[in-house]
Amino acid sequence: MNNLQRNYSTNNIETAEVENVMMKKIERSFYSKTSMYAFFVVTFLFLTMWIGTGQFAKVDLMLMGYMVASFIFAIGITVRMAAWLIRPATNQMVKRSIKNFFTKKRSKRNITAILKTLVDNIILQKFIFKRGLYRGIQHWLIAWGCIGSFAITFGLTFGWMHFRLIDATTYQMMVFNIPTIKMQANGLFAEMIYNGLNITALMVLVGVIMALVRRIHNHDLKVTERAEFDLLPLYILLAVTVSGLLLTVSYKFMGGFFHPQLALGHQITVVLFLIYFPFGKLFHLPIRPLATAVPMNYQEEMMVDTRSCKKCGTKYSNDDQIEDVKAILHAQQFDLKLEDGTYLADYCTNCRRKIRVMSQLNLGSVKGNPYGPVQTNNGIHIPGFGRKRSDEFYNKENK
């Protein structure tokens, strides 16, 4: 049995080494890792589009501008995500999450953390409602309006879904050329599907108006807000939603009056929005799901898997978090290693504060009760200097 386990582990190591060599060879074919990731993302989208459109047999040329902007959007998101993930703190968090996710002993905890984050942070967005009901409703409308609009826009643009006429009164939704839902052309469900973008646009419009009203009347926000960072995304969202809704008004209530010009204007606003999205404030939307890393990795149960302070023994954190802090500081060449080989991260907040004070005063370690007052009287004549004055300072030889 032991020989089998050794052979199995040896094979795994050899396989991993072969994969690393192959990966390095692939990386050399690109200018950088980021460009390699962008290539893979674009290739994946191209293949899914090829499948969804039946080998490009059902490409809608009216959506060509949206398609090009969507590919630029995908490249921008990839570049920004790569830049974000390369940061020491983010990189360590992701590595820890991957390691813990595939640990069988933590499977129950992982599932609980993922479901809790999905419900609380993504679906209900409780973290915003804690800041106020008004802000919660405003953020929820904008977030889910954008998510819904993205899903519909990308689904139609890349040809992932389209509608096939079965008979004079029945349509069928095709997803990646696979027949799915049938619906009556004049039914309620069909109307909701047809007006999906209108519904999401109205959600975003209401949310944006609420956000602008709040920023107009909240004087505290005016002090800290930046027009190019806080207001520009709201203006772009407002332009996209208003121009899109005007298209519906034109062809439903005005007999198509001014429709071509409105369609071109709406396409321009959507293209600007998709190009701006990866590099502005709205980028927090795709990285929000990574909030699951906090409860999955660092929020421990009481007295389970916790770290004790090296000096006073107080339970103050957990093993994963402390090790990650050390790894992040090491990557930044900022270890904060002490003379005895320990790190500041190995001590609780109170002891850490005392260690800093003693270090600044050039004093040794705390003697006696670590929670007692720090003795700063060390015979030094001038506070702040850690060496006694020599006899030459007092000019004893000349006296």
226 class by beta-carbon count within 10 Å (0-12 exposed, 13-18 middle, 19+ buried) = exposed
Q: Number of helices (H) and strands (E) in the chain: give both, helices first.
A: 16, 5
Please say whether the beta carbons of 201 and 246 come within 8 A. Answer: no
pLDDT of residue 70: 93
**φ/ψ of residue 181, rounded to 5:** -85, 135
Q: Residue 160: pLDDT above 70?
A: yes
pLDDT of residue 377: 57
Tokens linked to 139: 């953020």
Say what the pTM is: 0.77
Least Cα distance to 146 among 234, 45, 248, 265 occurs for 234
Spatial distance between the Cα atoms of 195 and 144, rounded to a whole number of angstroms: 16
DSSP 202-216: HHHHHHHHHHHHHHH
Structural contact between residues 41 and 75, judged by C-beta atoms closer than 8 angstroms: yes
* Closest C-alpha to 317, from 337, 328, 302, 338: 302
Q: pLDDT band at residue 62, thresholds of 50, 70 and 90?
A: confident
Model confidence at 10: pLDDT above 60: no
Cα–Cα distance between 98 and 92 in angstroms, integer? 10
Q: What is the pLDDT at residue 320?
A: 84
Report the pLDDT value the prediction gives residue 15, as an integer from 0 to 100. 61
**Are 83 and 34 spatial neighbours (Cβ–Cβ below 8 Å)?**
yes
**What is the C-alpha to C-alpha distance for residues 121 and 114, in angstroms, rounded to an integer?**
10
Q: Cite the beta strand spans of 108-158 per DSSP E.
A: none
CA dist., res. 348 & res. 72, Å (int):
47
What is the C-alpha separation between 178 and 149, in angstroms, rounded? 22
Name the token pair of 334. 């900022």
Closest CA to 158 of 273, 60, 57, 278: 60
Which has more confidence, 29 or 213? 213
Which of 369, 368, 341, 370 shows the shortest CA–CA distance to 355?
370
Q: Give the model confidence (pLDDT) of 74-102 as tens digits.
A: 999 999 999 888 888 888 988 888 888 88
Q: pLDDT band at 300, cuts 50/70/90?
A: low
Cβ(169)–Cβ(163) below 8 Å: no
Choice between 396 and 129, residue whose per-residue pLDDT is larger: 129
Among 237, 244, 243, 247, smallest CA distance to 273 is for 237
**Mean pLDDT, residues 154-177:** 88
The pLDDT value given to residue 364: 57
Mean pLDDT of the chain: 82
Q: Which of 159, 235, 158, 156 is nearest to 196 (CA)?
A: 156
- CA–CA gap between residue 309 and residue 349 (Å, rounded): 9
The tokens for 393 are 């300072």
Lowest mean pLDDT among 20-29, 54-63, 202-211, 234-243: 20-29
Residue range 109-149, pLDDT digits in tens: 888 888 888 898 889 999 899 999 999 999 999 999 999 99
Tens-place pLDDT, residues 182-231: 888 888 888 888 889 999 999 999 999 999 999 888 877 878 888 888 89
> Could you read off the pLDDT of 33-44 as tens digits, one per residue?
888 889 999 999
Question: 344, 316 in Cβ contact below 8 A?
Answer: no
Asked if the model's pLDDT at residue 265 lies above 80, the reply is yes
